[in-house]
Amino acid sequence: MQCYRDMPEFIAQQMTNLGAEVYYHEFLPQSKHFHPLKFFTSTASSMAVKPNGTYANFGINTIGIIRAPRGDGKEAIVLVTPYNSQRVQSNELLSLALGFSVFSLLSRATWLSKDIVWLSADSQFGEYAAVSAWLNQYHNPMFLSHPVILDTKMYGANKIIYGPDGTTEKADHMSFKRAGTMAAALIFKVGETRKYGDRDSVTMYAEASNGQMPNLDLLNVVHYLAVHRQGFRVNIETFSSLLSSSWLKVIAEVFQNLGSVLRKINPDWKLDVTVPDYVEGTANLANSMYNQALGVPTGSHGAFRDYQVDAVSLEYSPAFHLRNENAKSSFLLRGGRLTEGVVRSVNNLLEKFHQSFFLYFLAAPSKFISVGVYMIPFALLLAPLPVVASALADDSKAKGKSVDDCKTRGDADDLQIRGGSWKWLKSARVLLVIQIWAVLVSLLPYYISQIPSAMAIQYAVIWAVLSIIILIALYAMFGSPYCAGVEWKLLKATMITSITIGLGLMSIINFATAQLGALILIPMCLFSLPLKVQLEMKLLPRTVLLASNILLTVLGFPPAAFLIMKGLSKGSWTLDIGEFWSWMEFLWEWSSATYLYLFLVHLPCWLLCIHVLLHPCHPPESKVKQE
């Protein structure tokens, strides 16, 4: 008890001894809310915290600032060491020690031209909460609209920390101090697990919310210094199941053989990739894409990215035992040098890193796939959609016209709106109804989650039932799509156009999501053909088409896709709807755009696809015959 209450004070004492400005930042854990649109309305006022006063507990960040002797205080570099003040582990002590040693070195450095902020973040509510609460107050000064909470709670807290005699010091230590625009942030911590190997290793985490990445230059600096100067092994997160998968190895071998053959033809073509390289690259790339597509930050660096600050998390995994003092001091030396090197690199920057290196996937710590490369396959994937849509729309129009022409040639009622060019309005109406449905379905969890103390599975069932009821109600209000006699070609054209817009937008917001979604949606849309029309085809194409339709439609339904993904990755095929709910909850709590994509682009498209498949096809034709 005494130990963890003393911890911030001890750190503050050490910082003060180094001549740094010190203050405490107290924060309450933010309760998780349903705010899927936050990423989009990230204006200052909407980011203001609304602390929930019911918590008896609060976290205390300790912040030290070194003013740069050669700077003007307009820019700062942030170092973050998270530790859990409730239960300090030896690895966290080591990371605090690392932070302290760097900080004490920098407090004597004469070359600093940017202020150094050391944030020892209290991670008892998670690292992200601590860092984001501090950043929030840093950027959005709170003109306290909740004075009551602060007076009662925080004042009581101060007494706990300082005791009765620290009144003057307290006032000084409680005022929030700032140090200019943040140029970059470095989060480092020592991992709990010891990894056996010849060298200490560092794992870089970079993915922030909605697939945003820090500037690639920052990663390059860290990687270069870690590998070439300090002799660390640098890793990034990877899918370990892919590393041992045999089918990937087979593909890798094919590529290797192909590459070596090509090399024999022309030695200048350096296309051969060795099998381990290929497998590892694929596993890394898959993980990078997965993390970006999820849209949930992989660590506290995500909080920095929300304020356009480049940040990277480094997790050291020492190869020695934590009680080994010699190894520890050598580790502190090398880790400190790495941090110092990064600080020096950023310190000398006159401007921000260039803006064009934000969009990339990591295939290895030092290899990346740039936006210029990965946009090409996506654009090729998307390219058929407008072509098909315009062909379908045009086809349907031409058909309508020819019927008119043969029937009413020379008649004067050519002037009537017979829907030659406006016939798509009906299908646009269907699209509108389905989009309204999708918006309602995506907003439902906000109300459902207000129901207290229910199981995830109950929430999920309520959600599903309500969605179906709403759909039926909307059809009752606006008429079901088949009543109005919508042509299936126009319906398909509308569907394809809407997903072109949806995927195009999503590729700008979060490319990885759009890419993964496009792989399912685009074939699903392009292959969709009414079952009645399929009956007129020959047997072989019919079965192939039917099979692909069924397969893609099942894959396209988000819960089914989730189940299959879970089954493939974990090998457990138990059907649990509640898990889907908790998964979605996870997404909207982190305000991931993937949630919006799933419910505003993916789900409506899937429903439209079902409509196309089940289209009766007959009513319009019979109408023509009657006339």
Which of 6, 72, 169, 414 is the binder for other proteins (CB under 8 A)?
414
Is residue 41 involved in binding other proteins (CB under 8 A)? yes
Of the candidate spans 81-89, 107-115, 352-360, 577-585, the one that interacts with other proteins by CB under 8 A turns out to be 352-360
Q: 3-state secondary structure string, 299-364?
A: CCHHHHHCCCCEEEEEEEECCCCCCCHHHHHHHHHHHHHHHHHHHHHHHCCCCCCCHHHCCEEEEE
Give the containing element (helix H, strand E) for 222: helix 216-224
Site for other proteins in 376-395 (CB under 8 A): 390, 393
Supply the minimum distance, in Å, between the C-beta of residue 512 and other proteins: 14
Q: What is the amino acid identity at position 232?
A: F
CB of 613 to other proteins, least distance (A): 22
By C-alpha distance, which of 132, 145, 154 is closest to 47? 132
Single out the residue of 63, 509, 525, 584 in contact with other proteins (rule: CB under 8 A). Answer: 509
Those residues with Cβ within 8 angstroms of residue 351's Cβ, 6 or more apart along the chain or in another chain: none
Interaction between residue 402 and other proteins (CB under 8 A): no
- Long-range CB pairs of 494-497 (<8 Å, 24+ gap) are 494/389, 494/424, 494/427, 494/428, 494/430, 494/431, 494/608, 495/431, 495/525, 495/528, 495/605, 495/608, 495/609, 495/612, 496/385, 496/386, 496/388, 496/389, 496/392, 496/525, 496/526, 497/385, 497/386, 497/389
- Residue 353 CA to residue 324 CA, distance in Å, equals 39
Stretch in the footprint of other proteins (CB under 8 A) among 67-75, 81-89, 230-238, 416-424: 416-424
* 412 binding other proteins? (CB under 8 A): yes
Q: Quick one: which of 40, 155, 269, 573 contacts other proteins (CB under 8 A)? A: 40
Scanning 278-286, 287-295, 415-423, 552-560 for contacts with other proteins by CB under 8 A, the matching segment is 415-423
Least distance (Å) between residue 429 CB and other proteins: 12
Q: Please name which of 96, 101, 120, 109 lies closest in space to residue 70, comparing C-alpha atoms.
A: 109
Stretch that binds other proteins, among 95-103, 419-427, 446-454, 547-555 (CB under 8 A): 419-427
80 binds other proteins (CB under 8 A): no
Which residue in 308, 348, 366, 543 binds other proteins (CB under 8 A)?
A: 308
Smallest gap from residue 525 Cβ to other proteins (A): 15
Residue among 10, 155, 176, 422 that touches other proteins (CB under 8 A):
422
Which residue, 186 or 393, is less far from other proteins as judged by CB? 393
The minimum distance between CB 401 and other proteins, in angstroms, equals 10
Quick check: 43 binds other proteins (CB under 8 A)? Answer: yes
Phi, psi for residue 287 in degrees, rounded to 5: -65, -40
Q: Cβ closer to other proteins: 359 or 613?
A: 359
Stretch that binds other proteins, among 43-51, 227-235, 289-297, 538-546 (CB under 8 A): 43-51
Residue type, position 362, single letter: L
Kindly state the tokens that stand for 191.
Answer: 């991992």
Up-side HSE of residue 392: CA atoms within 13 Å toward CB? Answer: 23
In the complex, minimum distance from the CB of residue 347 to other proteins, in angstroms, rounded to a whole number: 21
The minimum distance between CB 620 and other proteins, in angstroms, equals 18
Query: CB-wise, 102 or 493, nearer to other proteins?
Result: 493
- Binder of other proteins out of 29, 191, 259, 504 (CB under 8 A): 504
Nearer of residues 350 and 417 to other proteins, judged by Cβ: 417
Nearer to other proteins, 146 or 229 (CB): 146
Query: Is residue 408 involved in binding other proteins (CB under 8 A)?
Result: no
Q: Which of 48-56, 63-71, 493-501, 528-536 is the region at the interface with other proteins (rule: CB under 8 A)?
A: 493-501
Quick one: angle between helices 371-382 and 488-509, nearest 10? 170
Count CA atoms closer than 13 A to 393's CA, side-chain side. 20
| Residue among 337, 373, 491 nearest 425 (CA) | 491
State the number of binding residues for other proteins (CB under 8 A). 34
Tell me if 25 sits within 8 A of 431, measured CB to CB: no
Query: Do the bridges between strand 21-27 and strand 59-66 make them parallel or antiparallel, or are there none, so unpaired?
Result: antiparallel
Nearer to other proteins, 380 or 508 (CB): 508
β-strands 310-317, 201-205 pairing: antiparallel
User: In angstroms, what is the minimal distance from the CB of 425 to other proteins?
Assistant: 8
Instruction: Give the whole-angstrom CA distance, residue 395 versus residue 408.
Output: 20
Contact 490, 422 (CB under 8 A): no
42 binds other proteins (CB under 8 A): yes
239 φ, ψ (degrees, to nearest 5): -85, 105
- Considering only 5-13, 37-45, 249-257, 614-622, which stretch makes contact with other proteins by CB under 8 A? 37-45
| Cβ nearer to other proteins, comparing 201 with 507 | 507
Supply the DSSP symbol for 385. Answer: H
Tell me the per-residue interface mask from 271 to 290 with other proteins, x by CB under 8 A, - otherwise: --------------------
530 neighbors 614 (Cβ within 8 angstroms):
yes
Using CB under 8 A as the criterion, what x/- string covers residues 136-175 for binding other proteins? ----------------------------------------
Q: Under a CB-based contact definition with an 8 Å cutoff, are residues 462 and 448 in contact?
A: yes
Cα separation, 521 vs 519, whole angstroms = 6
Taking a C-beta distance cutoff of 8 angstroms, is the pair 76, 113 a contact?
no
Q: How far is the CB of 217 from other proteins (least distance, A)?
A: 14
Are the C-beta atoms of 384 and 492 separated by less than 8 Å? Answer: no
Shortest Å distance, C-beta 524 to other proteins: 19
Distance, C-alpha 550 to centroid of its chain: 30
Q: Considering the rule CB under 8 A, would residue 497 count as an interface residue with other proteins?
A: yes
Question: Do the beta carbons of residue 55 and residue 157 sit within 8 Å?
Answer: no
Exactly one of 266, 355, 574, 626 binds other proteins (CB under 8 A); that residue is 355
Q: Is the dihedral of CA 209, 212, 218, 219 positive or negative?
A: positive
The answer to whether 212 contacts other proteins (rule: CB under 8 A) is: yes
Alpha helix ranges (H) inside 383-451: 384-408, 424-448
> For other proteins, which is the closer residue by CB, 176 or 422?
422
Which residue's CB is nearer to other proteins, number 501 or number 554? 501
Closest approach, Cβ 416 to other proteins, in A, equals 6
**Residues at the interface with other proteins (CB under 8 A):** 40-43, 45-46, 212, 308, 355, 358-359, 390, 393, 411-418, 420-422, 424, 428, 493, 497-498, 501, 504-505, 508-509
